[in-house]
Structure 1
Amino acid sequence: MTMPSQPPQRAAAPALGPRLGGALAVIFWCACGITALPLAGLFSLVAGLGVAGAKSALFDSFAGAGVGQQVLRLGLVPQLVLFAWAASLVVLTVAKSSLARSVSPWILVAWVLASAYSQFAIRDAISPDGADLGAFAALMPGLLLQAASAAAFFGYFREGARPLAYYRR
Structure 2
Amino acid sequence: MVGVTNILTLLAATAVIATPVPNEEFSLEARAGQSYICRGGLTNKGELFGEVSQDRAIGFFRNAKTNTGASGYPKEFDNKGKVMKFAKGCTKDVWELPLLSTNKPYAFNSKKAGNRPGPLRVYYTKDLKFCGIGSKPTREGLGNPHNCEFKTKSPAKSKPKPKPAPKPAKPQPTKPKTKKPKTKKPKA
Q: What band does the TM-score fall into relative to the shorter chain?
A: under 0.3
Select the structure of larger CA radius of gyration. 2
Higher strand share: 2
- After TM superposition, the score normalised by the length of structure 1 is 0.23
- After TM superposition, the score normalised by the length of structure 2 is 0.21
